[in-house]
């Protein structure tokens, strides 16, 4: 079954998604969590590309382009917010962000 390239690709996409989920949950550093989110988005994109291979309308790839742009936007805003949070708490450990008061 693993010799079938489509199934193999789906497994790779699922693997990337699970690894991303694991990193998002277990890592303490906020930047590591961003890395995990990027991995999850890539896992979804791998699936889109593999299903779009059999589609003459290329809908999966078009969706993939939008996913990549959204990932870039998310990462820009997230890092800008993290910079401000770091200025206030002097730490990027998620467990230190324990109050909302400014």
Q: Which of 44, 52, 97, 101 binds other proteins (CB under 8 A)?
A: 52
Q: Applying CB under 8 A, does 101 fall inside the site for other proteins?
A: no
Sign of torsion over alpha carbons 76, 78, 49, 10: positive
Q: Applying CB under 8 A, does 75 fall inside the site for other proteins?
A: yes
Mask 8-37, x = binds other proteins (CB under 8 A)? Answer: xxxxx-xxxxxx-xxx-xxxxxxxx-xx--
Q: Are 46 and 16 in contact (CB under 8 A)?
A: yes
Q: Are 92 and 86 in contact (CB under 8 A)?
A: yes
- Transcribe 32-50 into DSSP letters: HHHHHHHHHHHHHHHHHHH
Coil, helix or strand at residue 17:
helix
Binding footprint of other proteins on the chain (CB under 8 A): 1, 4-12, 14-19, 21-23, 25-32, 34-35, 38-39, 42, 45-46, 49-50, 52-58, 61-62, 64-66, 68-73, 75-77, 79-84, 86-88, 92-93, 95
């Amino acid at each position: 079954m693993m010799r079938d390239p489509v199934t193999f690709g789906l497994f790779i996409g699922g693997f990337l998604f699970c690894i991303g989920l694991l990193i998002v949950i277990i890592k303490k550093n906020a930047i590591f969590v961003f890395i995990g989110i990027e991995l999850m988005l890539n896992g979804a994109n791998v699936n889109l590309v593999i299903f779009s291979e059999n589609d003459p309308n290329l809908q999966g790839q078009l969706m993939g382009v939008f996913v990549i742009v959204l990932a870039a936007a998310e990462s820009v805003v997230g890092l800008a917010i993290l910079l401000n949070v770091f200025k206030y708490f002097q730490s990027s450990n998620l467990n230190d962000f324990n109050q909302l008061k400014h």
